Amino acid sequence: LQLVFSDEIKVKVEENSLIIVGLRGSRGVLRINLRRENDVKELEKIPGTGDTHASAGCVLDKTLYVTGGCWPASKATYKWSSVNRWSRCEDMKTERLSHCAACVDITAMYVLGGWDDRTALSSVERFDIRTNSWSAAGDLCQAVYDAACITSNKLIYAFGGGNKDGQPVSDV
């Protein structure tokens, strides 16, 4: 895939798109259209952030949510909606970077694990898009950062990454 960057910021988050967040040294978010060759757009920079390194993102009902990241760790949550602009949401309860995010249904996003500038995290938080609020949603069986996660049958599976001692994690 050849990446072609564009100054155009009027980009809708669409189905069949790959969203890339968390690039080192970037405040931007890329949207790659998987149906059209060379259709790569950079969304408008997230306001008020140093960069999006180690952030996580999730698309809910055609709205992109980006959480945390940067150095030091951040509690910030932003959304990019169909009006083609960023807006600030309620902050997460815990500062985190190098975490993962997943959506189980169209009403909530979950963030799992990560790093808080001191240690790996086991906490899981849930963001309700209807109330624009975060709540605690439990803990992973061990603290982990740089993990990946997927959803299947309304369950979230986190795998890989490193533990609090920096050792690779092999559990799911």
Residue 46: pLDDT above 60? yes
Q: Which residue has the higher pLDDT, 133 or 75?
A: 133
Mean pLDDT of 159-165: 93
Sign of CA dihedral 162, 63, 78, 92: negative
Q: What is the per-residue pLDDT for 12?
A: 47
Q: What is the per-residue pLDDT for 3?
A: 27
Beta partners for residue 79, in sequence order: 65, 87
Q: What is the per-residue pLDDT for 23?
A: 65
Q: What is the per-residue pLDDT for 24?
A: 65
- Taking the C-alpha atoms of residue 126 and residue 133, their distance in angstroms, rounded to an integer, is 8
pTM (2 decimals)? Answer: 0.81
47 phi-psi bin (left φ>0, alpha ψ -120 to 50, beta other): beta
What is the rounded (10 degree) CA torsion for 136, 62, 84, 82? -110
pLDDT digits 0-9 by tens, 1-41:
222 232 332 344 556 777 777 666 666 677 788 888 888 87
- Taking the C-alpha atoms of residue 23 and residue 26, their distance in angstroms, rounded to an integer, is 6
Mean pLDDT of 70-94: 82
Q: Which residue has the higher pLDDT, 39 or 112?
A: 112
**Range among 46-50, 59-63, 67-71, 143-147 rated most confident:** 143-147
Please, is 29 exposed, middle or buried when counting C-beta atoms within 10 Å of its C-beta (0-12, 13-18, 19+)?
buried
